Amino acid sequence: MENVKLTIDGIEVEVPVDYTVLEAAEVAQIDIPTLCYLKNINQIGACRMCIVEIEGMRGFVTSCTQPVANGMVVKTNTPQLIEARKVTMELLLSNHANSCTTCVRNTNCELQALAKKLNVTEIEYEGEKIDMMLDEISPSIVRDPNKCILCGRCVAMCKQVQKVGAIEKMNRGFNTVISGTFNMSLANVNCVNCGQCINVCPTGALSEKDNTKEVWKALQDKDKYVVVQTAPAVRAALGEEFGLPIGTLVTGKMVSALKKLGFDKVFDTDTAADLTIMEEATELIERINNKGVLPMITSCSPGWIKYIEHHFPEQLDHLSTCKSPHQMFGAIIKSYYANKINIDPKNIVVVSVMPCVAKKFEAKRSELSVDGLADVDVVLTTREIARMIKQANIDFVSLSEEQFDDPMGEATGAAVIFGTTGGVMEAALRTAQDLLTGTSVDKIDFTEVRGKEGLKEATVSINGLDINVAVAHGLANAEKVMKEINDGTSKYHFIEIMACPGGCIMGGGQPIHTAKEISSIDIMGLRAKALYDADSASKIRKSHDNPAIKKMYEEYLEKPGSHIAHELLHTTYTKRDLYNK
């Protein structure tokens, strides 16, 4: 590709001809302020923070939309530019809710940080403010339009990356608002609760529904036996909330913190991930051998489940009937485990710490209960549990490491990689190959299903049987796979789909990073590496070799796919229209 040379603040830089001035400035290591910009997703110049001066052009131009040209001379920090950005910020703040100290994004807000950087100490343009209604009907996401700056990042993420389109800019002028279709609540449209909109919002306009008060109340109730379980992706990201480098594995410190909070037992959702593989691999083999509905698609991601219910309801039979791991674990805790410790399941409170806000919606589904008791009572995100740890004044970084509680804390390396795209597929293949061959096969790593590509495919030969598999993450990629199934052109036997790009490690409940950090740091890669490293270090790396799972089947579940296993560990799905009905 042809390159061009331009000068930015006196620095000559050579970049490809299709670059923008903002991208060229990044190459020159010159920082231009941005607010609405989200690399490769939202480049609309709406916020006017990235304005620059270009010799030969009248007025200011937005660097995120301005193409480079040979010989271009750019200035990014003249007194006029600095003043213009400051005035724009004051105008933004003039119609913004002044509740920074009580906002969930306080000290982690891009608007707040930029206002400080621009030295905005007072607002000269105080005028009428629109007081809009809080949308908090959804069990997963809270939308506060009074904190919205109309940057459009959430809309771009929902439309372009997730291909859902549940939110849009409505009305015009001063009355513009980002809302659900026809100004409806997110609870009443085709929102899949993935929370990717939260992770790209620069302010507190979008946040998860906070359930920490429910957990504090349960912990204080002497009549309740409160059990907590943690998803694999949480341990790869929780440390970021306490200043540790991205991708730091904090399993032991996390367990220690949860015990200090007062939970009666701290269990590992990875145990249930191994249980999921036992049921899922068995279901896949039965479908292949008995000419059942193929391809079979994983059912671990609640955002993906709600997406297919809305957008491809006629294809629900392709879903595995397995519950997601934390829901399976909740059902086991309130049956098998309750029997072992002789406690009435009605007195057990199961709390799931998840990287995902869609899990909050999932836990409320009537299908995910046994004998009238919900499998999981409360779901907290990684961010929420971090807030609880801080609220309890626990010095997380200095904590010693502790182990998960027995007898439900044992898990394999196959389970821990559930947290990243391709992990469920790889775990299932490890077990499927041993079940089909009747022996323990040396091959453990299925690297062909790893990686960041949005859609990966492979053919795995096991005992003379060629199994065509695919891995999709991000719902735009899920749409591609589902259209092939609709058209009758799909060649796959087994498909893994995760709603969030990157899988659970990049879930809507994980620690939030700025747009600049997202564009410059391989957050997905660092978190995934932490999980793959944990897998490699595990003594047991195949789900069916987990002694705790073997014992569970011997003592209670009988065998994978048994009648009692179906009662506790499997579920059904719901056909929905685009208005969540």
For position 43, which CATH number holds? Answer: 3.10.20.740
- Same domain, yes or no: 334 and 289: yes
Residue finishing a domain among 188, 208, 228: 208
**Rounded-to-integer distance, Cα 120 and Cα 87, Å:** 9
Q: Is the pLDDT of residue 409 over 80?
A: no
Q: What is the mean pLDDT of residues 258-274?
A: 97
Q: What is the mean pLDDT of residues 244-252?
A: 98
Q: State both tokens at 415.
A: 């389970």
Q: Residue 535, exposed/middle/buried by CB under 10 A (0-12, 13-18, 19+)? A: buried
Q: What is the mean pLDDT of residues 47-59?
A: 96
Q: Is the pLDDT of residue 581 over 80?
A: no
H or E segment and range at residue 164: none
If one compares 436 and 32, the residue with the highest pLDDT of the two is: 32
Residue finishing a domain among 191, 208, 225: 208
Is 460 inside any structural domain? yes
- Same domain, yes or no: 219 and 202: no
**Rounded-to-integer distance, Cα 141 and Cα 361, Å:** 9
Q: What tens digit of pLDDT does each residue of 214-238 get?
A: 999 999 999 999 999 999 999 999 9
What is the sign, positive or negative, of the torsion defined by CA atoms of 573, 413, 352, 566? positive
Is 540 inside any structural domain? yes
Would you say 48 and 88 are in contact if contact means Cβ atoms under 8 Å apart?
yes
Domain count, the chain: 3
- Same domain, yes or no: 12 and 102: no
> So which residues are the catalytic ones?
280, 283, 300, 320, 359, 362, 367, 504
Nearest to 559 by CA among 467, 435, 408: 435
Residue finishing a domain among 152, 182, 208: 208
- Same domain, yes or no: 44 and 166: no
Range of the domain at 174: 98-208
Angle at 427 between CA 423 and CA 428, to 5 degrees: 115
Nearest to 258 by CA among 217, 213, 219, 223: 219
Outline where DSSP puts E strands in 209-264.
Answer: 225-230
Q: What is the mean pLDDT of residues 18-43?
A: 96
Q: Is the pLDDT of residue 128 over 80?
A: no
Q: What tens digit of pLDDT does each residue of 500-546 get?
A: 999 999 999 999 999 999 999 999 999 999 999 999 999 999 999 99
Is 545 inside any structural domain? yes
Alpha-carbon distances, residue 107 vs 121, 180, 512, 515 (angstroms): 16, 28, 12, 15
- Same domain, yes or no: 165 and 304: no
Q: What is the mean pLDDT of residues 405-423?
A: 91
- Same domain, yes or no: 377 and 467: yes
pLDDT (0 to 100) of residue 321: 98
- Same domain, yes or no: 325 and 453: yes
- Same domain, yes or no: 253 and 145: no
**Rounded-to-integer distance, Cα 278 and Cα 550, Å:** 10
Q: What tens digit of pLDDT does each residue of 471-493 get?
A: 999 999 999 999 999 999 999 99
CATH of the domain at 563: 3.40.50.1780
Is 200 inside any structural domain? yes
- Same domain, yes or no: 126 and 225: no
- Read off the pLDDT band of 174 (50, 70, 90): confident
Is 182 inside any structural domain? yes
Q: What tens digit of pLDDT does each residue of 315-324 get?
A: 999 999 999 9
Q: Is the pLDDT of residue 410 over 90?
A: no
**Rounded-to-integer distance, Cα 234 and Cα 505, Å:** 7
**Ramachandran region of residue 71, left (φ > 0), alpha (ψ -120 to 50) or beta?**
left
pTM here is 0.96
- Same domain, yes or no: 507 and 451: yes
Query: What ranges in 342-399 are assigned the alpha helix state H?
Result: 358-363, 382-391
Q: What contacts 81, CB < 8 A, 6 or more positions away?
A: 51, 52, 53, 60, 75
- Same domain, yes or no: 158 and 244: no
- Same domain, yes or no: 303 and 320: yes
